[in-house]
Structure 1
Amino acid sequence: MQSSSDQILARLMTFHPKVIDLTLDRVHRLLAALDHPEAKLPPVIHIAGTNGKGSTQAMIRAGLEAMGKRVHAYTSPHLARFHERIRLAGDLISEEALSALLDECDAANEGQSITFFEITTVAAFLAFSRTPADYTLLEVGLGGRLDATNVVDQPCLTIITPVSIDHQQYLGETLPEIAGEKAGIIKRRVPCIVGPQEEEGLEVIEARAARLGAPVLAYGQHWQVREEAGRMVYMDEHGLLDLPLPNLPGPHQIQNAGAALAALRALGADEAACEAAVTRAEWPARMQRLRHGPLVGMAPGAELWLDGGHNPAGGVAVAATLARMGKRPTHLICGMLNTKDIAGYLAPLAGVADSLTAVSIPDEVNTLPAATTAEAARRAGFAQVHEAASVAEGLAAIIAAEPQARVLICGSLYLAGRILQQNG
């Protein structure tokens, strides 16, 4: 049975012919009709970037909450339920509150054209403006400059995680163009934390910051982070931190942790808060080990993992994570969207997996057919390529041949969301 918020969300999907239409005009109009909730938010930390936004946000939240701070958080897309996108002072928004806010925004919009992401972002701002908290963490949906979250004039901090090629149809074909869109969140005289970047992207980010007089705290210049002897070492002008490795798996999480620590140190966090940031963060579907549910029950002797990365940089990160795991037969079950660079995603994974089973993403209009994914896997160099009608069917075939296998379900956050829904 649909909840009332599901029914309202389905209606909001019909207010604009496009899912994505980057402009801020409609958002400003609706915010004005609601008496500008974006001007009444607790201090805002605004996060853009191609990869690592969500993990970085999760670590910052863990650190701030360890300091006793109440933190709002906005993220997208959701995995299993829309409510995941809006966290009020630490707790996911309730069904009752979400339905009331969506109805209020719908009424204020008066039937005018607006995208689903725009009107739901305004609903989040309305919720954040009415609930006391110490900080608001805003994750950009797409790009930065024209993203619906980019309406806060004076955040207390901006963060740009690594920028790479993705969403070219909206953000530009080249890395400098895409970096320019991400750098659109930088505000006059507001400090900006910058994660590891390609040189041509960093130049664009630093140039915009210089024009706006925004202090830059950049990886490699103002802060460093590395793995050393099974620990994570972070250093900036405040001194050195010797911390455990992040609890979120994968070597790329060390860089994300570095950006989170740079942000926390800029906000005055102590060492205990910094340690909590890297040891207590929770972020589903980012190299997440599945430990219960029907799929795990099908394969009691196997390791079952889930990851939602979907662009070439995500493929590199997943490959590096798998390469560092203990020796074990490793098989991928992969489903992707037809808007993604499938060849770029699969290329780094061919060398670390024994096989790939291609699936279509259930109930997703933009899914890549399993046959297309399979053909791309063959071209990428996978030794064994199969197709399956579902993840469960693919898993059953893998386990029948190798009961102790490591199996990674990957290729799309939409596929990951379906798995989390189905697997409980």
Structure 2
Amino acid sequence: MSVGLDAWLARIEKLHPSEIELGLERVRRVAEALGAASLSMPVITVAGTNGKGSVVALTRALAAAAGRRVCVYTSPHLQRFNERITLPDGPVDDDALCAAFEQVDAARGDTALTYFEFTTLAALWLFRHSGADLAILEVGLGGRLDAVNLVDADVAVVTSVGLDHTDWLGDTREKVAVEKLGIGRAGRPLVYGEENAPANLDAELDRLKAVPLRAGREFQVEAARLSIRDGQRQRHYPLPLPPRLGADNLATACQALVAAGFPPADDAPHQVADTGLVGRCQVRRYRGVQCVLDVGHNLEALTRLRGRLPAHAGRRRLVLGMMTDKPVEAVVALFAADVDEWYLARPAVSRAADTGRLARALPESAVAHRFDSVAAALDQAVADSGAGDQVLVLGSFFTVAEALNAMDQGD
């Protein structure tokens, strides 16, 4: 009797007692048994605190514009697990996923794998049989000890380093940098995507013996063009302004592809300038109201979002749901002057902060409403809005996922 995708995912969630167990020994052993410890096509691995998803999306779009067949692995998903694995012809279907899970299950024997490790191995097995020209792998957490790092990257990309997941990665940017830069390999390019680098960047690159490609140094965003390092020379690309996912992310994606031996065509940045990403400053009209959804959950990401919000003529309402380990007070302070009413919700996950915690972070003068679900908060915020008003939905992947599900069901 065949097992369906939902049953597989439910089973995989129960295979390991912990949600996270960093380390490569177990997963590498299973990968070798599976025949998926390496890939036959060039690999670009992308880590970073913020900007990973945007750089992955832009790298894929640039490669596809050149006719390359691309596989992509990302996490987490928002609405369907299949979003995590893209094959050259599109998102993986349920049957192919189940077949991959069967292969991983057979190869692991009695080795306990986390949900992320199990599904990463399934993606690698699918990529091995895809006939793709290029694989793009997004790191789940950190880098050095993340399951994705079992594959030797031809090009490593670290988009940024900030303070997030400090219990696992360290409480300074320099400690976090060691973990994220750990996806680099000796003698191979490592692209670093932010000009404001941690103090130990150069020392870590030297220790890894990676070939440095640093934003603001080897490559950069100039007034109206991108300057990208290609060996000993620079390639120049006209810069479309403003790219939806950011000029810095577009430059990082171009540099990664050039380093991988797939230089984009001269007009490629213009072709992909309108590339967007679900849940990243995503604008959607729901019941006639402009809604902006963003999965950002740390201060750096949400500061960037605040500077990119579309203009609105009326009032702004904010649907907020966050996890307990995120900087609730700092996020509230960031938006406090721009929000007319707050709609506080607890996403349906155990790590979510309750609405009391969110309420205590608000200014005393704030107008706030508390709800048992994101869907209820969204519905009320939209119902309270009129022409020219704007509803923000932010604070977590889970918050945005529940809002998108509610919109799909309510349209």
Do both share a fold (TM > 0.5)?
Answer: yes
Shift of 1:39: 1.7
* Residue 369 of structure 2 corresponds to residue 369 of structure 1: no
Matched, 1:225 2:209: no
One-letter identity of the residue aligned with 1:346? V
SS of residue in 1 equivalent to 2:237: strand
Whether the aligned pair in 2 keeps the contact of 1:378 and 1:385 (CA below 8 Å) is no
User: Alignment partner for residue 338 of structure 2, among 339, 352, 357?
Assistant: 352
Q: Check if 1:258 corresponds to 2:251.
A: yes
Q: Which residue is equivalent to 1:284?
A: 278
Distance 1:9 1:150, change over 3 A: same
Distance 1:234 1:328 in 2: 37
Task: Give the superposition deviation at 1:213.
Answer: 2.8
- Tell whether the 8 Å contact from 1:48 to 1:160 is kept in structure 2 after alignment: yes
1:71-129 deviation line (CA, Å, top 9, x unaligned):
00000001111111111114111100001111221122123221111111011100001
Which AA in structure 2 matches 1:256?
Answer: N
Residue in 1 that maps onto 2:373: 390
Structure 1 counterpart of 2:113, one-letter code: I
Q: Taking structure 1 as reference, are residues 394 and 272 closer, same or farther at Cα in structure 2, changes over 3 Å only? A: same
| 1:320 alignment partner in structure 2 | 307
Letter of the aligned partner of 2:192 in structure 1? V
**1:190-229 equivalent positions in 2, closer than 5 A:** 190-199=188-197, 201=198, 203-225=199-221
The answer for the alignment partner of 1:311 in structure 2 is 298
Counterpart secondary structure, 2:398: helix
Amino acid of the structure 2 residue aligned with 1:355: E
CA distance in 1, matches of 2:111, 2:62: 40
- Give the AA of the match of 2:397: L
Aligned pairs for 1:13-92 within 5 A: 13-35=13-35, 37-92=36-91
Please say if residues 228 and 254 of structure 2, whose CA atoms lie closer than 8 Å, have aligned partners that are also in contact: no
Deviation at 1:182, TM superposition (A): 0.3
CA distance in 2, matches of 1:239, 1:137: 22
211-220 vs 44-53, greater mean Cα deviation = 211-220
Question: Which shifted more, 159-168 or 268-277?
Answer: 268-277
Shift of 1:399: 4.4
Q: What TM-score, normalized by structure 1, do the two folds share? A: 0.89
Per the TM alignment, residue 326 of structure 1 is displaced from its structure 2 partner at its CA by: 4.4
Secondary structure of 2:391 counterpart: strand
* CA gap 1:172/1:271 in 2 versus in 1, 3 angstroms: same
1:163 is aligned to 161
1: CA distance between counterparts of 2:243 and 2:228? 22
In the alignment, the residues of structure 2 paired with residue 134 and residue 190 of structure 1 have an alpha-carbon distance, to the nearest angstrom, of 19
Residue aligning to 2:263: 268
CA distance in 2 between counterparts of 1:178 and 1:235 reads: 28
Q: Matched residues in 2 for 1:265 and 1:352: separation?
A: 41
TM-score, structure 2 normalization: 0.91
SS in 1 for 2:400: helix
Q: CA deviation at 1:414?
A: 1.1
The percent of aligned pairs where both chains have the same amino acid is 34
User: 1:329 corresponds to which letter in structure 2?
Assistant: R
Give 5+ residue unaligned stretches, structure 2. none
1:181-226, Cα deviation, whole Å (9 max, x unpaired): 0010010111111111544x2x433222223332211111122225
After superposition, the C-alpha distances for 1:134-176 in whole angstroms (9 at most, x for unaligned) are 10000000000000000123x2211111110000011011110
CA contact (8 A) 1:209 1:215 kept: yes
Provide the C-alpha distance between the structure 1 equivalents of 2:346 and 2:9, rounded to a whole number of angstroms: 25
- Structure 2 contact 321–374 (Cα < 8 Å) conserved: no
Where 1:38 maps in the other structure, the secondary structure is: coil
- Whether 1:116 aligns to 2:115 is yes
- Residue in structure 2 matched with residue 243 of structure 1 by the alignment: 239
CA distance in 1, matches of 2:94, 2:340: 43
For 2:298, give the aligned amino acid: N
The one-character-per-residue Cα deviations of 1:207-259 (angstroms, maximum 9, x if unpaired) are: 22223332211111122225x6xxx532245244333235536xxx2221221
Read off the aligned partner of 1:303 and give its amino acid letter: Q
Alignment size in residue pairs: 400
Match of 2:226 in 1: 234
Preserved CA contact (<8 Å) 1:41 1:136: no
Aligned equivalents of 1:282, 1:218: Cα separation in 2: 24
Q: Judge which range, 402-411 or 46-55, deviates more.
A: 402-411
CA RMSD of aligned residues (A): 2.1
Query: SS of the residue aligned with 2:111?
Result: coil
- Judging changes above 3 Å, is the alpha-carbon distance between structure 1 residues 41 and 76 closer, same or farther for their aligned structure 2 residues? farther
Cα-to-partner distance string for 1:374-413 (whole Å, 9 max, x where unaligned): 221337xx73322233344434544454412100111110
- Which one of the candidate residues 385, 388, 411 is aligned to 2:395? 411
- Asked if structure 2 preserves the Cα contact closer than 8 Å seen for 1:359 and 1:387, the reply is yes
